[in-house]
A = this chain, B = another copy of it.
Amino acid sequence: MTISEFQKLIESIYLERDRARGRDATFVWFVEEVGELAKALGRPRADGGRNLREEFADVLAWLSTLASIAGVDLEAAASEKYREGCPKCRSTPCAC
């Protein structure tokens, strides 16, 4: 799945509601998910890692919806910055 396809998938599920909530309130929800990821990272994986995978998925979903609200194409932004290697030294691996 491309980054763009995922962003569009999340738009189709949530964008109308997220846009109505507003950018700043949606950012608060995003940060809440970042907190849940922190919790999942620090815990034993008694469930085979399912909760941890879900928290990564949630942070990516909220980042995508934030980008949509802000009018940012996440795949274009990611590709633009990183496709040539480290944006600072232009090397892979980074040699900064």
Contact = CB atoms under 8 A, between A and B. Distances in A.
B78 A6 contact: yes
A93 interface: yes
Nearest to A6: B78
Given A3-B2, A60-B78, A13 B86 contact: yes
Q: How many copies does the complex hold?
A: 2
A38 B34 contact: no
Contacts of A46: none
A56 B74 contact: yes
Contact of A38 (B3, B27, B67, B80): B27
A82 B66 CA distance: 16
30 contacts: A1-B2, A1-B3, A1-B75, A2-B2, A6-B78, A6-B82, A13-B82, A13-B85, A13-B92, A13-B94, A24-B41, A27-B38, A27-B41, A31-B34, A37-B66, A41-B70, A49-B72, A52-B72, A53-B80, A56-B66, A56-B72, A56-B78, A57-B74, A57-B77, A57-B82, A58-B81, A60-B60, A60-B74, A60-B77, A60-B78
